[in-house]
Structure 1
Amino acid sequence: MVSIKNRTWSLFEKIGFRLVFIYFILIILFQNNGAFPFWDWLFAYPTKWIEQFIPWLGSNIYGIEEEVTVKVTGSGDTMFDNLIALTSLIVALIGTMIWSFIDRKRNDYDTLYYWLTTGIRYYVGLMLISYGMVKVIQLQFSYPGFYRLIEPYGESSPMGLAWTFLGFSKGYNIFMGVAELLAGLLLFRRTMTFGALITLMTAMNVMAVNYFYDVPVKLLSTHLVLMTLFLLSKDIKRVALFFFTKVSTTIEVIKRPKFKRGLRIAINSFKALLIAYVFVYGFIETLESQKKYGSKAPKPELYGMYKITDFVINGDTITNYKNKKLWKSISVQWEGSMQVRNFEGDTPVYFGVEKDSLVDRRLKLTRWGKEPVSFDFNYKKLDSTGLEFNFVFQGDTIQGLSKRLGIKDFRLTSRGFHWISEYPYNR
């Protein structure tokens, strides 16, 4: 898009730069997504203001009837997020027209170009580094658990299918994580172009997964791709010449404005501290998170999947699979929760789990979703082979036996790696 040589920019380059400058700065400020350390604290007051202004804008200007909420839902594509992007684009278009009118005699924006590329390099680089760490340690895509393994294949959502596919392989997680960690090359001007080439491929793959598997991070991944393309724009012609012709070419490094010695030392020192903090503290924090809710988190006492072998209601053994009360399986994957499946549409029912402090081997189960219903669940472990249980639920006295299954008792998780395969094992 622009050149870093000392020359007069074309009208197209100046107008285009003004537009992307305003838009990208607004996105970095208000859709930071934890890219910059302590950003929530540093930008707390503007964030509170935007969280009030955007919903008002949605209701009074854009005419959106439903409520625009700002609560954290795990989605990056909420109405609130889309309105920020739309408003940023409108402000950028209006700002570009005003800027172009009052600054039409300017020859170049070399200094602003340096600062914009710096902001984008750190925004994209630091964000992908954080994403890379949680992949290398396999915290983002967890290994398929019991809830997922016993779910009917066609009942999974596109996002659930993607998460299962990506989480299945530790090696593939490391591969993806290393590719994203290489975005660290963006943090240095000399390696920026090479880093942008790698990051573009990585970010485009992430964007494709988000688009085609309906993962609600489409806005963020799209912005990462656009920002990386902007970083590459100054060298795109030279890159094309290098790969597709015999013409000799060189990559020019973005020139830093001349700073006084003290300021230059301060900037370099801050950069070193920032990079060290992101890598060292980020790595330590990710490891701690893995111990809290990742693969190394403490397992519940009844961790496992239990296939029901006998189910007795009020003294009668139930064998009719059409009976809505007949349980099919019990799964305990996380502390404080239990999943129960019956034979009616194979629909899972989730219960909150609390230990009874007064009675050993008794749990208090509370059904989630519907009107809360609680009951005492008494159990006895049968060595490592299963579970015996009994409880009273909605007037019925229920007893049952179950056989315990482990992760490796499923075809998906027991197949393993085979270098030599005489026939495809496609099941």
Structure 2
Amino acid sequence: MSTDGPASEPPTAELRDPIEKLDAQRRTRRQNILVTLAWMLHWVLRMGLAAMLLVYGWSKVVLMQMGLPDHGDALTQFGEMSPMGLLWRFMAYSPVVQCLAGVAEVLAAALLLFRRTVWLGALLAVADMAVVFLLNMAYDVPVKQLAGVLGVVGIIILLPFLPRLLRFVAGRATGPALLPTPIPWPRLARFTRWLGAIVAVVAVAGSGAVLVWSAQGISRVDGPLPGVYRVVEDAREPAAQLAEDDRWQQVAFGQWDYHDGRGRVGIRYANGDFQGGTYRLDGDTVTLSLDRIREGSQPLGRNDYVAGFDLTWEERPDGRIALTGDRVDIVIESDTEARYLFDRDFSWAPRPPINR
């Protein structure tokens, strides 16, 4: 006789069905947990991207990031500019272009904050960051990596909606809208749905209000001094060698006062050197705080300012301005050639192109 026990029999259908149902429930529960965690990460990414876009976007809208075209910058020659400086001046010259670039970023951020428009916000954010990344690469702007990372984040946020978007482009039925569900609990989701919308509106409007308020400190400098000038009279004798001649040849006083009562100033010397800095007007006195004379790509820091000195200025009946002070006794007049970029007007009417 065999000593083996009775052969094991396969479970009956009645026993197999509850086990399969239990396994299916466990798999579904794990899937739901993973999906919820994925949507939570998705929410974190889109909130972070929206925050970055709001900061950079509003700073362009209120013309703070690139600034405004300024007479104090008129004497910087094309070859002296850094690639980033060229891009900044290009954007600053046209406030409309700078503002519209900011509007595109703010709009992308606003769309990212609402569940039903996340896909559109991500799509616009990817387009925005692609352009920014290209400009940063082409003009050697230091935040290349940041623009690239923000673009990749936009792509990650867009991924869940990409199949539906491709079906739409192909003209196929897209099915019901896909809504992000970082909160799987219905009661809490009903509350946070409205709270999220309110927070989104406050975030967009509040960040804009803060930067608009910050931009209120930018104003025009009063008086006739702002402008671009060439020296027509100089009481000092020229140096024996041109390379040693440190008399002023041109000077430019900026027309924009940035918060602290100072405008930009630029000085071109007879020997070709250029020196920038800031100036402050106080009655008939102008106080200059100048950077060190530039040497190649040597960066300027906060401690690189030469001690300020005062000049007395006086407007003459013929429109010229006399400047007197330490080692300066000159008469200057408006230099129409050096400020042509600022004086060129806009016209809808056809006229001969001027490409100079």
Shorter-chain TM band: 0.7 to 0.9
CA contact (8 A) 1:291 1:298 kept: no
Work out the CA distance in 1 between the residues paired with 2:227 and 2:44.
47
Match for 2:344: what amino acid? Answer: R
Say how many residue pairs are matched.
Answer: 311
Aligned to 1:180: 105
Identity of aligned residues (%): 24
Amino acid at match of 1:253: L
Alignment-mate amino acid for residue 174 of structure 2: T
Letter matched to residue 402 of structure 1? I
**2:324 maps to 1:390:** yes
CA distance in 2, matches of 1:377, 1:331: 14
- Tell me which of 120, 129, 154 is aligned to 1:194: 120
Aligned-residue offset at 1:222: 1.1
For 1:254, the equivalent position in structure 2 comes to: 180
Correspondence 1:239 to 2:165: yes
> Is the alpha carbon distance of 1:298 and 1:270 closer, same or farther for their aligned partners in structure 2, counting shifts above 3 Å?
farther
* 2:339 aligned residue (382, 386, 410): 410
TM-score normalised over the length of structure 2 = 0.75
Distance 1:265 1:236 in 2: 26
CA distance in 2, matches of 1:417, 1:380: 33
RMSD: 3.4
Note the C-alpha offset of 1:350: 3.4
TM score, norm. by length of structure 1: 0.63
Quote the Cα distance in structure 2 between the aligned partners of 1:376 and 1:417.
Answer: 38
What SS does the corresponding residue of 2:217 show, helix, strand or coil? helix
1:381 equivalent in alignment to 2:315: yes
Work out the CA distance in 2 between the residues paired with 1:283 and 1:275: 12
Please give the secondary structure, in 1, of the residue aligned with 2:311. strand
In the other structure, the counterpart of 1:15 is: none
Runs of 5+ unmatched residues, structure 1: 1-5, 10-104
The alpha-carbon distance between structure 1 residues 321 and 143, as it changes in their structure 2 partners (threshold 3 A), is farther
Instruction: Say whether 1:350 aligns with 2:350.
Output: no
SS in 1 for 2:325: strand
* 1-structure distance, mates of 2:58, 2:106: 7
Match of 1:113 among 24, 38, 41: 38
CA distance in 2, matches of 1:321, 1:161: 29
Residue in structure 1 matching 2:233, options 310, 314, 320: 310
1:127 aligns with: 52
Q: Contact 2:287/2:309 (CA < 8 Å) preserved in 1? A: yes
Contact 1:354 1:365 in 2 (8 A): no
User: What letter corresponds to residue 331 of structure 2 in structure 1?
Assistant: L
CA distance, structure 2, for counterparts of residue 272 and residue 281 of structure 1? 14
Identify which of structures 1 and 2 has the higher relative contact order when contacts are C-alpha pairs closer than 8 Å and 6+ apart: 2
Give 1:410's aligned amino acid: R
Partner of 1:65: none
Matched, 1:330 2:251: yes
- Superposed CA deviations along residues 307-330 of structure 1, whole A, max 9, x for unmatched, are 2111111xx478996552220122
Structure 2 residue aligned with 1:401: 331
Alpha carbons of structure 1 residues 164 and 401: separation in structure 2 relative to 1, 3 Å: same
Per-residue CA deviations over 1:382-414 (Å, capped at 9, x if unaligned) read 368232121233xxxx411011468x9733233
Query: What SS does structure 1 have at the residue aligned with 2:65?
Result: coil
Q: Unmatched 5+ residue regions in structure 2?
A: 1-24, 293-303
